[in-house]
Amino acid sequence: MRFILIPTILTLWAVALGWQYQVMLAYGYAAEAADAYAKAWRPHSAIALDASRQTLLFFVHPKCPCTRASVAELRKVLAGSDSPPAVRVIATIPREISPSDEAWRNTPTRRDLLALPGAEVFEDVGGVEASRFGVSTSGAVLLFSPEGTRLFGGGVTLSRGHEGDNIGAKWLGKAIAHDARYPVSHTAPVFGCRLCLAPEAEEREGGYRQTAMIEQPPRKVNGQ
């Protein structure tokens, strides 16, 4: 009887491992669709568009551990640029979080942001700005020209929390460098946690998420 049970147990164990592996792959490689990203700068945004150089928006969930890989990859792209863009980090914060709550403001991901050269960090309460630009996933990067045209939209990692060469970081670097061979307004998959968006902010209108709440302007928390 014991010899009969051993193959059965081994088979069940192998099936369980295979299922777990598939779940991990689905978790790591599931990306948000880029069709909702704003194709042009939103005129009602409280974040300033730089009129003299490109503007890069980087959307983060302060508690998303996999976004740390996105920060590392973005840092590499910016370090390799001769003319880096103005970097605005949009950290979404739940509406019910108090200004003194350090659990959302002193996280490893937030501390990693300090390594981004010249970055300004804004707190986006309720995800108003994220929704305005059609972004719902942490790690998303949007690059705009001084005229407000989107040049790139998407992520800069191969999968969730994994650093290394990837097409998103490559395309972003080419867009920043004004590479003529780069297809205008390219998009790449973004992998990360869902941003802190209020339910009212997720009503779609005109191809992007339009807020339907009383807006709180983003609060600038630091700039270099």
**Domain annotation covers residue 152:** yes
Residue 79 has pLDDT above 90, yes or no: yes
Q: CA nearest 61: which of 191, 215, 224?
A: 191
Q: Would you state the pLDDT for residue 205?
A: 34
Q: Mean of the pLDDT values across residues 74-89?
A: 94
Number of domains in the chain: 1
Among 20-24, 55-59, 130-134, the minimum mean pLDDT is found in: 20-24
State CA 22 to chain mean position distance.
24
**Domain annotation covers residue 135:** yes
Domain that holds residue 69: 32-223
Task: Note the pLDDT tens digit of each residue in 104-140.
Answer: 888 999 999 988 988 999 999 999 999 999 999 999 9
**Domain annotation covers residue 106:** yes
**Domain annotation covers residue 45:** yes
**Domain annotation covers residue 16:** no
Rounded to whole angstroms, how far apart are CA atoms 187 and 152? 6
Task: Note the pLDDT tens digit of each residue in 198-208.
Answer: 765 444 333 33
β-strands 86-93, 120-125 pairing: parallel
Residue 223 has pLDDT above 90, yes or no: no
Residue 215 has pLDDT above 70, yes or no: no
**Domain annotation covers residue 77:** yes
Residue 37 has pLDDT above 80, yes or no: yes
Q: Would you state the pLDDT for residue 162?
A: 59
Q: Would you state the pLDDT for residue 124?
A: 94
Point out which residues pair with 120 in neighbouring strands: 88, 223
Q: Mean of the pLDDT values across residues 3-15?
A: 50
Q: Would you state the pLDDT for residue 98?
A: 79
- Sequence letter at residue 80: G
Put simply, whether the predicted model's pTM sits higher than 0.95 gets the answer no
Q: For 203-214, what is the HEC assignment? A: EEECCEEECCCC
CATH value at residue 122: 3.40.30.10
Q: Give the rounded percent of residues in the chain with a pLDDT score beyond 90.
A: 49
Rounded to whole angstroms, how far apart are CA atoms 69 and 109? 9
Task: Note the pLDDT tens digit of each residue in 135-174.
Answer: 999 999 999 999 999 999 999 998 765 567 888 899 999 9
**Domain annotation covers residue 17:** no
**Domain annotation covers residue 19:** no
CA 84 vs CA 1, 51, 57, 116: distances in Å: 69, 14, 13, 11
Computed on alpha carbons and rounded to an integer, the radius of gyration of the chain in Å comes to: 20
